[in-house]
Amino acid sequence: MEIVLSDITMQFPGTRALDGVTAGFRTDEVHGLIGENGAGKSTLVNILGGSLQPSAGMVQIDGRAVRLTSPHDALVQGIAHVSQEGSLVPGLTGAENILLGAEPKRAGAVIRTGALRAEAAALVAKWFPQVRIDLGRPVGELPMADRKVIEIVRALRGAARIVILDEPTATLPAREKEQLWGIIRRLPQQGVGVVLISHFLSEIKALSDRITVLRDGRHIRTDSADTMTEHDLVDMMLRRSGGANLRGADAGLRKDEVVLDLADWQVGGVHVPQFSLHAGEIVGLIGLTGAGHFGFARSLHNPAGARCARMNVAGKTVQPGPVGQMQAAGIALVPDHRMEYALIGEWTVRENLAMVHPTHGALGAGVLSIRREEAEAQRVMKLLNVKAHGSGQLLKTLSGGNKQKISIGKWLYGAEGRYRVMIFIEPTEGVDIGAKAEIYAEMRRLAAEGVGIIIASSDLLEIESVAHRVIPFANQRPGPEIAQSGFSESTFIAAISGTAA
């Protein structure tokens, strides 16, 4: 059986998630599907799994046009979707989960528990004879890999010929991963094709017969896995901003003053053995989604769950603690997704700017002075060249670039130079080219004032434009750093597609 999606377009309000994508999937292969966040992988498999109906394009099974109107409909046609989040009921046993909705019944209502257990065990034995799972225990108590197996068996219990596995190993410990890999590899031999989505390139390479690369909703290439190196894959996945290199004049570094010094920083699965940042320096962090660079950058300002052997900020020893404590030590964060993490849309520009340091314009005893607040807001707006009708304009009505300037301005309002380390995550996400150049200029200005800057971005050209040196991340570890003289797209790509595990 072969299922072919031809010329699929998916239009959502405001965005086109897929743009004329054509891809075919077979029952005798593991077909890897890769792309960065937003490339359209999820949309594509949701169409394949019947959860979404494409705006345009055709779906064919063995040359016959079909419409997959719901997940159930897709299942009837032989396509099962095992989603990333997991869809098991934690309180029910493995057997109950496998046969959920298809329980053997007596008189149409009473579940025959004995038959249910036997039937579920038979299904597991049929597909994965080598696997031993306790089907009598609530799945909430089972190891993650066993839960995935149960989900897969449930997907296969009907007449599924193609099963979509969305990030199946994302939640698994390393040891259990290999167990699941073995299971995935076997499926095509039993006549069930796999569509595999994974952020781990090494996994995609190891398991897939063919690989399809998506980028920004477009199909880039489908080919046999042997013909593409990991370097090729990354090269195809990365989006290019298409702008010019916006490298500006640099002020000299102050190599003598270290503003951030870390040893053995651990957070989540990320481990950074050593990291230091100098005054006036802009360090770029790059990596693919899930490589750990974003998590590391965020954790410096919000170190919940982080551990370290040493943390020095501007020469003082600091214990990782709540956000307020990190700010007091001199660390600021301009996060990605600014409307979610940084700003309040219903507030005015002035109120947003004063969010971190309302005390600046205060009269004492916690009483605000609107007049002083206004003056400071005007100063920051002017400094950052914010285009607004006034400081009283509602934030949500500003353009993306101006919103981002306010997100930066929060750390300039009333700060009086107290921030020595500023972290920028995807700083020009949804920002037009003019504002982009202004934001880079602001980062350089801050650096010239002696701030150490960390920028984590998936836009390599952006990193090339502003950073003095780059630390590539792969598999949640930093790789060897790249000096400015070595900056090029191909060195970056080579560095972040590193396979060391």
Partner 1 sequence: MSDLTKTGPASNPDILFGPIRKDHVQRYSTLVVLVVMFLVFALVVDKFLTPQNILNIAQQISMLTIVGAGLTFGFAAREMDLSVGFAVGLAGVLVPLLLVKGVALPLALLAGLGAGLVVGAVNAGLVTLVGIPSLIATLATGSILFGVNFLMTGGRAIYGGLPDGYLWLGQGKVAGIPVLAFFMLAAVALAWFVMERTIFGRYIYAVGGNQKAAELSGVKVRRYRAASLIVCSLFAVVAGTLLAARLGSGQPNAGERYLLDGLATVFIGMTMLRPGTATVLGTFFGALFIGVINNGLNLMGMDTYIQSIVKGVIILVAVAVVSRSTKLNLL
The DSSP H or E segment spanning 295 is helix 293-301
Nearest distance from C-beta of residue 320 to partner 1, angstroms? 15
Binds partner 1 (CB under 8 A): choice among 179, 266, 289, 385 = 385
- Closer to partner 1 by CB, 324 or 480: give it: 324
- Alpha helices in 201-242, H assignment, sequence order: 201-207, 230-237
Q: How far apart are CA 315 and CA 370, in angstroms?
A: 36
- Checking 135-141 for CB contacts under 8 A at 24+ apart, the result is 135/93, 135/94, 135/95, 135/98, 136/93, 136/94, 136/95, 137/93, 137/94, 138/90, 138/91, 138/92, 138/93, 139/88, 139/89, 139/90, 139/92, 139/93, 139/94, 139/97, 140/90, 140/91
Footprint of partner 1 on residues 308-367 (CB under 8 A)? 322-324, 327, 333, 335, 340-347, 351, 354-356, 358-359, 362, 366-367
Residues touching partner 1: how many (CB under 8 A)? Answer: 39
Cα 73 to its chain centre, rounded Å, is 30
Binds partner 1 (CB under 8 A): choice among 211, 380, 388, 463 = 388
Examine residue 387 and tell whether it contacts partner 1 (CB under 8 A): yes
For residue 23, the one-letter residue type is A
Examine residue 396 and tell whether it contacts partner 1 (CB under 8 A): no
Nearest distance from C-beta of residue 410 to partner 1, angstroms? 7
Nearest distance from C-beta of residue 176 to partner 1, angstroms? 31
Nearest distance from C-beta of residue 341 to partner 1, angstroms? 5
Footprint of partner 1 on residues 275-304 (CB under 8 A)? 301-302
Binds partner 1 (CB under 8 A): choice among 102, 111, 309, 370 = 370
Nearest distance from C-beta of residue 462 to partner 1, angstroms? 22
Binds partner 1 (CB under 8 A): choice among 389, 486, 488, 499 = 389
- Closer to partner 1 by CB, 97 or 327: give it: 327
Cα 434 to its chain centre, rounded Å, is 26
DSSP assignment of 78-95: TEEEE-SS----TTSBHH
Nearest distance from C-beta of residue 328 to partner 1, angstroms? 8
Footprint of partner 1 on residues 149-188 (CB under 8 A)? none
Q: Please state, in angstroms and as integers, the Cα–Cα distance from residue 33 to each residue in 47, 164, 166, 233, following that order.
A: 14, 10, 9, 11
Binds partner 1 (CB under 8 A): choice among 143, 378, 450, 491 = 378
- Closer to partner 1 by CB, 31 or 301: give it: 301
- Closer to partner 1 by CB, 287 or 335: give it: 335
Nearest distance from C-beta of residue 377 to partner 1, angstroms? 9
Nearest distance from C-beta of residue 322 to partner 1, angstroms? 8
Nearest distance from C-beta of residue 13 to partner 1, angstroms? 16
Tokens 């009907």 found at: 158
Q: How far apart are CA 213 and CA 239, in angstroms?
A: 12
Asked if 34 and 195 touch (Cβ cutoff 8 Å), the reply is no
- Closer to partner 1 by CB, 14 or 129: give it: 14
Nearest distance from C-beta of residue 34 to partner 1, angstroms? 30
- Closer to partner 1 by CB, 221 or 387: give it: 387
DSSP assignment of 147-197: HHHHHHHHHHSSS-SEEEEESTTTT--HHHHHHHHHHHHHHHHTT-EEEEE
Q: Which of 276, 338, 287, 345 is nearest to 312 (CA)?
A: 276
Q: How far apart are CA 206 and CA 278, in angstroms?
A: 40
Footprint of partner 1 on residues 399-438 (CB under 8 A)? 410
Question: Could you tell me the two tokens for 381?
Answer: 């707006």
The contact set with partner 1 (CB under 8 A) reads: 301-302, 322-324, 327, 333, 335, 340-347, 351, 354-356, 358-359, 362, 366-368, 370, 378, 381-382, 385-392, 410
